[in-house]
């Protein structure tokens, strides 16, 4: 961020208690925090039980983009009994999630037990009165795609899902910095592969990365497959896209944490 960047705390809180075993974005969930105008950096998330946890369960995290709700992670919750000397279950996780403007981070509980879910975030803006004309300004660009159709091709043909498209030069953007990609299975998985492709503005597609998917049997107390890829220097040109495919016909959500950038002048 630039020196002219100004931050405002954004604390989101919700209580969840209705059992929801679904990973496909359906069922009851609570809205934790919403992205501000330039985006919101969600630094940490705290899950705090309001009582005993009688069986091993799961709290699940989702992103709602205004139309679709997609899973991004699961947190296993162990059985816990509170007393005058024993605290209820509590866990704080580091997210560092750049949430796009208007997008909502949501949470659900696999079992009908009560939790407070609290997100600690930072909204950012730019001090326009004295901003330098060469200042780089960033806007959160959260990309979400789903894939489920088997595609063994490495040449960019076959069925692919669009995860993210960089802001265009016509919109004033100079590119898009992709910081991380999360691949989250919605089902139990068999050995296979998820592939990432880069597409240019002429729809040419090139294989970029392959991620092996192992056998994972998901359940109410066991996470489905999840892989997070962190990038140091993945900068997409304006209008370029990140696409994904799956070798095996199993359902995945692929989420990209990214930032479009532009300059004041």
Question: Residue 188 in contact with residue 224, Cβ under 8 Å?
Answer: yes
According to the model, what pLDDT value does residue 4 have? 67
- Give the per-residue pLDDT at 131: 57
CB-based contacts of 225, cutoff 8 Å, min separation 6: 183, 184, 185, 189, 213, 214, 216, 218
Amino acid 1: pLDDT? 52
Domain boundaries defined on the chain? 5-126, 141-263
| Tens-digit pLDDT profile for residues 206-216 | 999 999 999 99
The pLDDT value given to residue 51 = 93
CATH number of 141-263: 2.60.120
Tell the CATH superfamily of the 5-126 domain. Nucleoplasmin core domain (2.60.120.340)
Radius of gyration of the chain (CA): 20
What value does the mean pLDDT take over residues 20-48? Answer: 96
């Amino acid at each position: 961020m630039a020196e002219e960047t100004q931050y405002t705390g954004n604390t989101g809180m919700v209580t969840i208690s209705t059992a929801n075993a679904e990973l496909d974005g359906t069922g009851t969930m609570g809205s934790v925090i919403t992205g501000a105008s330039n985006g919101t950096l969600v630094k940490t998330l705290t899950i705090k039980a309001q009582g005993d946890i009688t069986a091993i369960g799961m709290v699940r995290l989702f992103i709602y983009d205004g139309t679709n709700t997609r899973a991004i992670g699961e947190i296993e919750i162990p059985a816990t009994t509170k007393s005058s000397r024993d605290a209820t279950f509590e866990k704080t996780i580091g997210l560092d999630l750049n949430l796009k403007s208007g997008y909502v981070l949501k949470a659900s509980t696999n079992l009908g037990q009560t939790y407070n879910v609290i997100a600690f975030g930072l909204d950012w803006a730019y001090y326009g009165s004295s901003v330098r004309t060469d200042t780089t300004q960033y806007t959160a660009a959260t990309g979400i795609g789903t894939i489920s159709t088997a595609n063994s091709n490495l040449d960019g043909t076959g069925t692919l899902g669009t995860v993210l498209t960089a802001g265009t030069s016509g919109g004033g953007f100079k590119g898009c910095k992709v910081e991380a990609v999360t691949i989250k299975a919605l089902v139990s998985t068999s050995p296979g592969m998820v592939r990432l492709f880069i597409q240019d503005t002429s729809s040419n597609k090139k294989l970029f990365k392959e991620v092996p998917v192992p056998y994972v049997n998901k359940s109410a107390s066991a996470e489905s497959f999840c892989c997070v890829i962190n990038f140091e220097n993945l900068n997409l040109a304006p209008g370029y896209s990140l696409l994904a495919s799956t070798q095996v016909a199993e359902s995945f959500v692929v989420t990209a944490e990214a930032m479009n950038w532009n300059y004041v002048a």
